[in-house]
Amino acid sequence: MSNQSIVTEFILLEFSEIWELQILYFAAFFIIYLSGLTGNLLVIMVVAFNHSLHTPMYFFIMNLSMVDLGYISVTVPKAIINSLSATWQISYPECVAQVFFFVFFVSSEFFLLTLMAYDRYVAICNPLQYEQHMTKTACIQMVASVWIVSLFYSVLHTSCTFAITFCSNVINQFFCEIPQLLQISCSKSYVPEEGALIFCILFGVGCFAFIIISYLQIFKAVQKIPSIQGRKKAISTCFPHLLVLFLFYFTGLIAYLAPIFTSSGDIGLVLTVMYTIIPPIMNPIIYSIRNKEILTAVWRLLGKSKFFTFNYILWV
């Protein structure tokens, strides 16, 4: 294809040409998506309907689950439809929308994890000033800032990516991903996107440095807590967040650095699936398993739903 105007649709990478395997992929993606959907919706409902969980930490966890819902919904439903229908086309507007929302939700998760590190830092290092700093208004403003910055970040990347011309419409990935789109560009120079990428990397490095410094200060403060039970409680509130951070960064780094060290397309595909699917599924599990308050609230919610269902059956 000679220029961008001719490209009306893109061809995504198919998982297999064998129909039976396509059905298997459909079933796997459907179960994965249903699990992620259920887990994150459950966390949102538990935090929203339980007044004892209306604290800054759980407010951020609820917003993280909302981000994870969008994160997993951008790529997986399309993969489910493609696996079932055995068609791998995606229209140009759909591709633009997929890039926009994927970058938006990924960046939102990154910035939310940074806010959650700040929340733990204030709670453990400055407990007497926690209620003063982490007010309801302050938390809402911080989360609103996350959405606004992520929106700017997404608009910047999407506009720079689709400002280039494409010489092919075949994307070597199961969804529209910026690195793969740049590979099918007619130009070998991506000045706008490179500039946007440098800006975002610098901003991201700053956030990552803030997280590292925050947790170094947290660990120092934990060591000064006199009681063993107090130290365990402080660490238990940080442990889920550290796990989520590690999972998000680890899968993302592997997915983007692996192509440098391996030429296997199948390995790269598996790693990208891990990067786009595992964090949204594992985040609610990590926070639920390590958090007694969420587990208790979940059982209460499930108990109430069973009670209402039973009464409805008797009434009918």
Q: How many CA atoms lie within 13 A of 263 on its CB side?
A: 0
Rounded CA separation 290/236 (Å): 7
pLDDT at 190: 60
pTM: 0.84
Q: Where are the domains of the chain?
A: 4-315
Contact between residue 4 and residue 92 where contact means Cβ atoms under 8 Å apart: no
Residue pLDDT, tens place only, 43-60:
898 888 888 888 898 899
pLDDT of residue 186: 80
Q: Which residue has the higher pLDDT, 207 or 304?
A: 207
Q: Residue 25 — very low, low, confident or very high, per pLDDT cuts 50/70/90?
A: confident
Across 1-10, 15-24, 119-128, which has the greatest mean pLDDT? 119-128
Most trustworthy range by pLDDT among 11-25, 91-105, 202-216, 240-254: 91-105
pLDDT tens digit string along 196-239? 777 777 777 888 888 889 888 988 888 888 888 877 777 777 87
CA 161 vs CA 48, 109, 183: distances in Å: 38, 21, 11
CB burial of 306-316 (b: ≥16 within 10 Å; e: otherwise) equals eeeeeeeeeee
Closest CA to 50 of 232, 316, 298, 225: 298
- pLDDT confidence of residue 207: 84
Kindly report the CATH number that applies to the domain delimited by 4-315.
Answer: 1.20.1070.10
Residue-by-residue DSSP string for 41-80 = HHHHHHHHH-GGG-SHHHHHHHHHHHHHHHHHHHHHHHHH
**pLDDT of the residue at 84:** 80
- Evaluate the CA torsion angle 46, 51, 52, 58 in order and state its sign: positive
Provide the pLDDT for residue 144. 95
The pLDDT of residue 284: 84
pLDDT higher than threshold 80 for residue 283: yes
Give the span between the Cα atoms of 248 and 179, in whole angstroms.
19
* Bigger pLDDT: 28 vs 17: 28
Asked whether residue 289 carries a pLDDT value surpassing 70, the answer given is: no
Higher pLDDT, 306 or 72: 72
* Amino acid type, 132: Q
Residues 6+ apart with CB under 8 A from 69: 36, 37, 40, 41, 44, 280
